[in-house]
């Protein structure tokens, strides 16, 4: 009888790194802990170390979603949903190989898993079992019309699967004979990824609530392991190293990878001390980084202070020059008055005019006294007003039929004060705490259908809808929200996950655009 293994339920963050220009989804892990990261933002497949170093970049035939690695054959199988295909990758040479079109599939394919000499590929409400040469062996109907985003092989070739568009449901699996079975009596929400072992235990990733849960085959319990407090932020991808010692999670919109060390519930004293030492090392590393940041700030401030002192010195010199000019003018006037008294017989009727020389003398005396006392009037140093935060960008070209839950990229930037908007990802990263106005407009083509959302982090804060399925007309949707945002928050526009959209139009006679500005700090 096979002995039940204790799965890890505690994880300690080891490395967190960003993959620029990506929207991370599926993760493949080799025995030497190389990470093959699927990218929903383009055709680039990233190969990274578990410490965040880029090892290779592979140009695939389309954007990727799921990945399954057959290490014995040095092969990875990657789904390309938009062209209903699976592409082969050599994990040694990191070169792409042949493209396999999924037979009898007229919809996108997402999840993928290896079952011996066959491959399971998730489609719309169905799982296709194909040979490694591309022949269709059988089709399994899961009896739920939603895309299957993730597949994992469990006990006796039982297939665990995830359908993120299903809001609240119990966990399910399907056998190769087509029998669908519930796994747990407890409900889950928007499960997008699943990872199981060969004895019935499984981890599930809920992307909207940002939870990682563990189903235990031994006691049939469902336990929450990680939450948003542990760094999960719209998580889409989930994978373990071959020895289950490391956990990898991809945060989709933020393009971050979380790499954590796993630990069992029962740790001996030596392991506990090692973990404490590791935590102290991480804490010291973070404190050293903060100290370096503060030192850099001090250096910058010293430079700014020195520059301001130079400006003040220049202003004082200018003030002295102006004082001397005033004194010279007063002296000239005083001398002119004295000459008038000495050389001119002034009638008594002009007595008041002679008093001017006395006033001029008083003026000279007053300024001499000011020079002796050092009382020099200086011009106040102007203050620098805070930078305005605002942006406006639009699409430079049409975007045909974007997929569900697809962030929209407005690549042409007209205004970007304070550099909060990032045109390569379409995300506005809030630079300053405050109250903001965000507005977006989408020009849709005929027969288009579906809502568009504006999202802050993982929360939908605004939505507009268009339904032109029955008519061939263009429409221009617009939405505006006023929200409070904190520094570091992500704000972006995306398609709704549950509907297939038509073409987004943007040209000289009507732009699809995204804008925002801060109205109060």
3-state secondary structure of 315: helix
Query: Given 3.40.50.150, 2.40.70.10, 1.20.1290.10, 2.60.120.40, which CATH number is that of 390-520?
Result: 2.60.120.40
Domain ranges of the chain: 12-187, 288-373, 390-520
Task: Tell whether the torsion through CA atoms of 79, 83, 85 and 86 is positive or negative.
Answer: negative
Supply 225's token pair. Answer: 């392991």
Per the document, the length of the chain is 521
Contact between 410 and 395 under an 8 Å Cβ cutoff? The reply is yes
Q: Which fold has domain 12-187?
A: Neuraminidase (2.120.10)
Q: How many helices (H) and strands (E) does the chain have?
A: 2, 35
261 Cβ contact list (under 8 Å, min separation 6) = 11, 12, 14, 245, 246, 247, 278
Distance CA 264, CA 117 (A): 33
**What are the pLDDT tens digits along the chain (521 aa)?**
344 456 678 888 889 999 998 999 999 999 999 999 999 999 999 999 999 999 999 999 999 999 999 999 999 999 999 999 999 999 999 999 999 999 876 788 999 999 989 999 999 989 999 999 999 999 999 988 788 999 999 877 889 998 876 666 667 899 999 999 887 767 788 899 999 886 778 899 998 889 999 988 777 888 899 999 999 999 999 999 988 889 999 998 777 888 888 865 443 444 456 667 877 988 898 889 889 899 989 999 988 998 998 888 888 888 878 777 777 787 777 776 555 444 444 444 444 444 444 555 555 455 555 544 554 444 454 444 457 899 999 999 999 888 888 999 999 999 999 999 999 999 999 999 999 999 999 998 887 887 999 999 999 999 998 887 777 888 888 999 999 999 999 999 999 887 667 889 999 999 999 999 999 98
Question: With helix as H, strand as E and coil as C, how does 465-480 read?
Answer: EEECCCCCCCEEEEEE
Residue whose token pair is 């987004």: 504
CA-based Rg of the chain, rounded to a whole angstrom?
A: 35
Distance CA 321, CA 318 (A): 5
Contact between 392 and 238 under an 8 Å Cβ cutoff? The reply is no
Q: What are phi and psi of 387, to 5 degrees?
A: -70, 140
**Using alpha carbons only, what angle is made at residue 86 by residues 84 and 89, rounded to the nearest 5 degrees?**
150
| H or E segment and range at residue 262 | strand 256-263
- For the whole model, what pTM was predicted? 0.52
DSSP 57-87: EEE-SS----EEEEGGGTEEEEEEGGGTEEE
Distances (CA, A) of 484 to 202, 436, 437, 441, 460: 38, 6, 9, 21, 14
Distance CA 244, CA 227 (A): 20
Contact between 414 and 393 under an 8 Å Cβ cutoff? The reply is yes
Residue whose token pair is 């945002």: 485
Sequence-distant contacts of 133-137: CB under 8 A, at least 24 apart? 134/100, 134/101, 134/103, 135/103, 136/102, 136/103, 136/104
3-state secondary structure of 328: helix
Contact between 92 and 86 under an 8 Å Cβ cutoff? The reply is no
């Amino acid at each position: 009888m096979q002995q039940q293994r204790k799965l890890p339920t505690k994880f300690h963050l080891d490395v967190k790194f960003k993959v620029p220009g990506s929207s991370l989804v599926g993760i493949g892990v080799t025995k030497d802990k190389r990470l093959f990261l699927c990218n929903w933002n383009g055709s680039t497949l990233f190969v990274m170390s578990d410490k965040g170093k880029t090892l290779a970049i592979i140009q695939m035939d389309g954007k990727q979603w799921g990945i399954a690695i057959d290490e014995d054959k040095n092969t990875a199988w990657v789904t390309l949903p938009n062209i209903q295909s699976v592409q082969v990758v050599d994990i040694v040479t990191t070169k792409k190989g042949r493209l396999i079109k999924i037979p009898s599939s007229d919809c996108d394919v997402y999840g993928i898993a290896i079952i011996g000499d066959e491959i399971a590929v998730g489609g719309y409400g169905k799982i296709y079992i194909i040979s490694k040469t591309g022949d269709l062996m059988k089709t399994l109907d899961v009896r739920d019309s939603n895309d299957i985003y993730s597949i994992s092989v469990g006990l006796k070739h039982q297939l665990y699967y995830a359908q993120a568009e299903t809001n609240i449901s119990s966990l399910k699996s399907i056998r190769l004979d087509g029998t669908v079975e519930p796994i747990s009596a407890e409900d889950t929400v928007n499960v997008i990824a699943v990872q199981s072992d060969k004895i019935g235990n499984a981890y599930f990733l809920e992307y909207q609530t940002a939870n990682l849960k563990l189903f235990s085959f031994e006691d049939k319990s469902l336990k929450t392991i990680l939450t948003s407090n542990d760094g999960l932020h719209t998580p889409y991808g989930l994978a373990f190293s071959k020895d289950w010692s490391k956990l990898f999670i991809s945060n989709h919109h933020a393009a971050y990878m979380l790499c954590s060390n796993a630990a069992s519930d029962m740790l001996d004293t030596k392991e506990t001390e090692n973990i404490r030492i590791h935590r102290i090392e991480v804490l010291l590393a973070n404190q050293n980084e903060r100290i370096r940041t503060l030192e850099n700030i001090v250096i910058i401030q010293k430079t700014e202070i020195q520059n301001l002192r130079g400006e003040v010195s220049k202003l004082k010199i200018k003030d002295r020059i102006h004082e001397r000019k005033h004194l010279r003018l007063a002296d000239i006037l005083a001398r002119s008055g004295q000459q008038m008294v000495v050389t001119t017989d002034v009638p008594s009727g002009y007595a008041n005019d002679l008093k001017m020389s006395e006033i001029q003398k008083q003026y000279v005396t007053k300024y001499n006294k000011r020079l002796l006392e050092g009382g020099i009037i200086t011009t106040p140093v102007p203050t620098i007003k805070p930078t305005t935060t605002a942006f406006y960008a639009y699409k430079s070209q049409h975007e045909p039929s974007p997929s569900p839950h697809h962030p929209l990229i407005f690549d042409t930037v007209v205004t970007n004060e304070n550099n909060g908007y990032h045109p390569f990802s379409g995300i506005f990263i809030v630079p300053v705490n405050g109250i903001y106005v965000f507005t977006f407009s989408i020009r849709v083509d005929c027969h288009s259908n579906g809502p568009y959302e504006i999202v802050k982090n993982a929360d939908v804060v605004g939505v507009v809808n268009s339904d032109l399925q029955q008519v061939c007309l263009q429409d221009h949707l617009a939405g505006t929200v006023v929200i409070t945002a904190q520094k570091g928050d992500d704000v972006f526009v995306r398609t709704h996950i549950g509907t297939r959209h038509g073409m987004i139009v943007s040209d000289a006679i009507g732009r699809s655009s995204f804008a925002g500005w801060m109205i109060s700090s």
